[in-house]
Amino acid sequence: MAMAGRAGSSKKPKESAPTSRTGTDEVTKKALLDATAELLSERSNLEFSQAEVGARSGMSAALVQYHFGSKHGLLAALLEYSSTHYVTQINGLADMTMSATDKLRLHVRGIVTTYTKTPYLDRLLHHLIEASPEEEARRISDFYVGRVIEFYRRLIDQGVAEGVFRRIDPVHLYFILVGTGDHLVARRRLLEPIVGSAGFDSNFARSFGDELFNIVFCGVRAEAATSGDATA
Amino acid sequence: MAMAGRAGSSKKPKESAPTSRTGTDEVTKKALLDATAELLSERSNLEFSQAEVGARSGMSAALVQYHFGSKHGLLAALLEYSSTHYVTQINGLADMTMSATDKLRLHVRGIVTTYTKTPYLDRLLHHLIEASPEEEARRISDFYVGRVIEFYRRLIDQGVAEGVFRRIDPVHLYFILVGTGDHLVARRRLLEPIVGSAGFDSNFARSFGDELFNIVFCGVRAEAATSGDATA
């Protein structure tokens, strides 16, 4: 890591900041997070320096230390910042009055959109779970992984109750949907020499999202043949 | 990287090694490759030192430099060494007299087995494509990615001709199958706090492989409903 973790060394005042200052702080933090997100989107790892974040945001690199305390703090804040839409969508979908099929369709589209916009998401999540103290790692895992699996569990229950889905394992569904979404962005460079970088435009994301839904939807349908019975 | 790349600095004699020496060389190289594979299977990155490979193999660390020239050379050799079975299976399946459905089933089982045994495979492939000079990167991509996509293209053609598959994009199939396989191992630690490490035993790999085949097979079937028609 280019920046040493120094959580707790932040000199940020805890209270009593006047409102206008708080507003400026939020603008500054957002600019630093956007700059970090841009840098990570261009790379296939999590290597960057405070100086790069400063240069990209047009601000002093020292503000990273001031606002986030350490690189670890910056990355933890980035995970929360980048996944707000995704987490909100999952929470919203779970409670919505809508067929399980439509929920699955919207969720698959959401996964492809999320990973296309934030290609570093899974990498960041994985790093934070490995690099955080046990209790914090557990909290991150519960929040970002446990919640998705719980959503799948309820979605499958609903689909089964509606007579549309088979009862499949939510962990299996997690690996197929999230694994595919992550691979789509994390390993894209592997395919560029073959497909051409122009092959990965927004049309690809849309058509791939549609196909992923089609395949998974057909695969989980209640009447789906298993083990290749069609060839028997 | 812990070891600087020094391709070309190998002092290995090019010819005239007596047969017994060649045999010993092969045994040594295999031991070094096995030790590297073990180290990478335990980690989620490609960071390791020559000294660690030496210690793990019970041999002198200098033999890495002697046999592979550099860390890059060692990793390139490991990719070839680790993927032999996978590449052989794909080549063999493509030409086999067997239904497209059975080829798909064997291939999916092969992917789950391959990624379970060599969890570092995609990480290694990705690194070598990014770190190699353009021509070498292109060769690796053609060999390891292009060949798989070509296999999918022929498999889909066969399935369509047999009236069993829909015509789907082989690149879509690549992301779903290879993405899922890679995620299954690369991001497993994300799920361990929730599923428990005992949840990822050989039974999980088998049942997950069966489910992945079921879902993908049902999803690519010619009669599969698209876009959730079942709810219309």
Assess whether A38 and A63 both reside in one domain.
yes
Flag the least confident range among B70-79, B162-171, B200-209.
B200-209
Q: Does some domain include residue B60? A: no
Domain range for B208: 71-223
* Backbone φ, ψ for residue A163 (5° rounding): 75, 20
Assess whether A51 and A131 both reside in one domain.
no
CA–CA separation, B77 vs B81, rounded Å?
Answer: 6
d(CA B214, nearest CA chain A) in Å: 5
CA–CA separation, A53 vs A62, rounded Å?
Answer: 10
Q: Does some domain include residue A104? A: yes
Assess whether A181 and A197 both reside in one domain.
yes
In B165-184, the residues whose Cβ lies within 8 Å of chain A are: 168-169, 171-172, 174-176, 178-184
The neighbouring-strand residues paired with A165 are A221
pLDDT at A34 over 60: yes
Which residue on chain A is closest to B220 by alpha carbon? Answer: A215
DSSP-assigned letters across all residues of B4-55: ---TT------S---HHHHHHHHHHHHHHHHHHHHHHHH-SS----HHHHHH
Which residue, A68, A96, A126, sits at the end of a domain? A68
**A174, A190, A215 member nearest B125 (Cβ):** A190
Residue A27, domain CATH: 1.10.10
Q: How confident is the model at residue A10 (pLDDT cuts 50, 70, 90)?
A: very low
Assess whether A23 and A122 both reside in one domain.
no
pLDDT at B152 over 60: yes
Closest to A149 (Cα-Cα) out of A90, A97, A99, A100: A90
Q: Does some domain include residue A6? A: no
CB within 8 A of B57, min separation 6: which ones?
Answer: B31, B32, B34, B35
Which residue, A11, A40, A68, sits at the end of a domain? A68
What's the domain count of chain A?
Answer: 2
Q: What is the mean pLDDT of chain A?
A: 81
Whether B215 and A168 lie within 8 Å, measured CB to CB: yes
pLDDT at B44 over 90: no
Whether B184 and A175 lie within 8 Å, measured CB to CB: yes
Assess whether A104 and A167 both reside in one domain.
yes
Q: Does some domain include residue A5? A: no
Confidence at residue A73, expressed as pLDDT on a 0 to 100 scale: 94
Assess whether A88 and A187 both reside in one domain.
yes
d(CA B81, nearest CA chain A) in Å: 19
- A133 CB neighbour count, 10 Å cutoff: 8
pLDDT at B224 over 70: no
Q: What is the mean pLDDT of chain B?
A: 81
pLDDT in tens, B45-88: 888 999 999 999 999 999 999 999 999 999 999 999 998 888 88
Structure tokens at A173: 């569904």
Confidence at residue A168, expressed as pLDDT on a 0 to 100 scale: 86
Length of chain A: 232
Residue A162, domain CATH: 1.10.357.10
Q: How confident is the model at residue A52 (pLDDT cuts 50, 70, 90)?
A: very high
Q: Is A163 left (phi over 0), alpha (psi -120 to 50) or beta?
A: left
Which residue, A28, A43, A68, sits at the end of a domain? A68
pLDDT in tens, A118-138: 889 888 988 898 888 889 888
pLDDT in tens, A62-80: 999 999 999 999 999 999 9
* Chain B positions in Cβ-Cβ contact with residue A180 (cut-off 8 Å): 175-176, 179-180, 183
Whether A187 and B149 lie within 8 Å, measured CB to CB: no
Structure tokens at A61: 């690199």
ipTM score: 0.70
pLDDT at B221 over 90: no
Alpha carbon separation from A132 to A5, A129, A138, B185 (Å, rounded): 11, 6, 9, 20
Which residue on chain B is closest to A46 by alpha carbon? Answer: B45
pLDDT at B114 over 70: yes
Inter-chain Cβ pairs, chain A and chain B, closer than 8 A: 192
Closest to B176 (Cα-Cα) out of A72, A216, A22: A216
Check if A219 contacts B (Cβ < 8 Å): yes
Q: Does some domain include residue A52? A: yes
Assess whether A94 and A35 both reside in one domain.
no
Q: How confident is the model at residue B200 (pLDDT cuts 50, 70, 90)?
A: low
Q: Is A16 left (phi over 0), alpha (psi -120 to 50) or beta?
A: left
Q: Does some domain include residue A102? A: yes
Check if A47 contacts B (Cβ < 8 Å): no
Q: Does some domain include residue B201? A: yes
Q: Which amino acid, one-letter code, is at B99? A: S
Assess whether A79 and A184 both reside in one domain.
yes
